């Protein structure tokens, strides 16, 4: 059974930093792209970032490019999101999601997210 | 403002069928068969219900079905049950360069 468990969220002041983690189990972690998707209160989800199965290729939404860094440690089956220069508008629940690409490769445009974690809440406020 | 447009709410009585629409453009919904649907209960993680317009993951009830016509995709829930109450989001691949695709703003389904 696939299981994804996020941690690391909390209250942070504007301009501050947080590091989110996502522990994965139940599948061959290194074979799949992994993504972070966030959801602001009362809003629809928003894709944030994706990393390839090997960890060598990444992509980001324009809204976080240059401030957030996605990474993974395949030896620990763990996904990370380093968030710097946080803004009020980054307040959201952050979900890690196992990602299925259009052609089934371990990186590429996402067709759908087949498993999601329960989320970790990030609140940016002074 | 979400890229894909969904009705804010849809309701129905137990046993009835309801349909949720998801309208995009030729750059996303209309141009490709990569529409997915997610169910979310309050405080819970989204759950994949439909992928690639019409496909149901293993374990998802066959009461859920997906379709598409032009720039609008639809999720139909037949034989509505109390456990179907929750929020539903559509998502689509987009040719605009957003790797993770675009989402709708969500539809709250209420079972009367």
A25-48, pLDDT tens digit by residue? 999 999 999 999 999 998 999 999
pLDDT tier for residue A80 given thresholds of 50, 70 and 90: very high
User: Across the A/B interface, how many CB contacts are shorter than 8 Å?
Assistant: 72
Contacts of B48 (CB under 8 A, 6+ apart): A112, A113, A114, A115, B36, B37, B38, B57, B60
Give the whole-angstrom CA distance, residue A120 versus residue A83. 13
A27 interface with B at CB cutoff 8 Å:
no
Asked if B7 reaches chain A (Cβ–Cβ under 8 Å), the answer is: no
What rounded mean pLDDT belongs to chain A?
A: 96
Mean pLDDT for A111-116 is: 96
Q: How confident is the model at residue B92 (pLDDT cuts 50, 70, 90)?
A: very high
pLDDT band of B67, cuts 50, 70, 90: very high
pLDDT mean over A84-102: 97
Structure confidence at residue B14 (pLDDT): 97
- Pairwise CB contact (< 8 Å): B48 & A113: yes
Is residue B13 very low, low, confident or very high in pLDDT (cuts 50, 70, 90)? very high
Q: What is the pLDDT of residue A10?
A: 98
Q: Which of residues 83-112 of B touch A (CB under 8 A)?
A: 89, 91, 93, 98-106
In this prediction, residue A51 has a pLDDT band, given cuts at 50, 70 and 90, of very high
Mean pLDDT of B36-54: 95
pLDDT at B2 over 90: no
Q: What is the pLDDT of residue A108?
A: 86
């Amino acid at each position: 059974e696939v299981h994804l468990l996020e941690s690391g969220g909390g209250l942070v002041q504007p301009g501050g930093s947080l590091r989110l983690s996502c522990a994965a189990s139940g599948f061959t972690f290194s074979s799949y792209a992994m993504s972070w998707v966030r959801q602001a209160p009362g809003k629809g989800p928003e894709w944030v970032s994706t990393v390839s199965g090997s960890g060598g290729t990444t992509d980001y939404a324009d809204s976080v490019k240059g401030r957030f860094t996605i990474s993974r440690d395949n030896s620990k089956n763990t996904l990370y999101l380093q968030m710097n220069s946080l803004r009020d508008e980054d307040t959201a629940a952050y979900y890690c999601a196992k990602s299925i690409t259009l052609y089934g490769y371990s990186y590429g445009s996402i067709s759908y997210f087949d498993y999601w974690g329960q989320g970790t809440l990030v609140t940016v406020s002074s | 403002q979400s890229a894909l447009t969904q009705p804010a709410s849809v309701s129905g009585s137990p046993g009835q069928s309801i349909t949720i629409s998801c309208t995009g453009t030729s750059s996303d919904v209309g141009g490709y068969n990569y529409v997915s649907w997610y169910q979310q209960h309050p405080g819970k993680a989204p759950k994949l219900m439909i992928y690639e317009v019409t496909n149901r993951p293993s374990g998802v009830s066959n009461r859920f079905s997906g379709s598409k016509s032009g720039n609008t995709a639809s999720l139909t829930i037949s034989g509505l049950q109390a456990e179907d109450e929750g929020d539903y989001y559509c998502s689509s691949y987009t040719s605009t360069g957003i790797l993770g695709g675009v989402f709708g703003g969500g539809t709250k389904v209420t079972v009367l």
